[in-house]
Amino acid sequence: MKSVGIFVDISNLFYNINKKYPGKKLDYFKYRLAAVGDEALYRAVGYGYFVDFEARKFVSALKHVGYETKYRKHRTIVKDDKIEYLNSSWNLAMSLDIIRVLPKLDKVVLGTSDPEICPFVEYLKEKGVECFVISSNIPKGLRNSATQCIEITEDLLHATTQ
């Protein structure tokens, strides 16, 4: 039985899903089930950002459905007396986490549509590890690099309650 590691960039998934399915959010339990199938889950990790700890309930919910969580505060700058959030990426930290457990994995599932992860995806494949991308709005370069890419469909989402 294959050992699977799931590594998801929460912000990237949120942004890309919201772009394709406005008002909908990913159901991370369904996502985990779809990513693992009948294989063995080794680890599931969600990487995200918070502003003033507003993500506490969400982080708790992620943990409840089997994800480890790694959150850090958004980098900010003040411009014209307004706070602006800088774009930053979890790609390096996520890649290092995967490398640390790589000998225990047969398959890596990445929840991101960031094309900057392509060289790392190619590295994983060179090491004999299958690399699946399950995300939304997956760019062509990432599609060409991964073992397989799966676009998130509405059956993995739930409506927001706002």
**Cβ-based neighbours of 78, under 8 Å, separated by 6 or more:** 84
Cβ atoms 108, 132 nearer than 8 A: yes
Q: Model's pTM, two decimal places?
A: 0.89
Region 93-121: what's the mean pLDDT? 97
User: 65-78 pLDDT, tens per residue?
Assistant: 999 999 877 666 66
Residue located via tokens 């960031």: 114
User: 8-31 pLDDT, tens per residue?
Assistant: 999 899 999 999 999 899 999 999
Region 60-66: what's the mean pLDDT? 94
Predicted local distance difference test score (pLDDT) of residue 103: 96
Among the listed ranges 51-65, 68-82, 107-121, 132-146, which one has the minimum average pLDDT value?
68-82
DSSP line for 61-118: HHHHTT-EEEEEEPPEEEETTEEEEPP---HHHHHHHHHHHGGG-SEEEEE---GGGH
Predicted local distance difference test score (pLDDT) of residue 82: 72
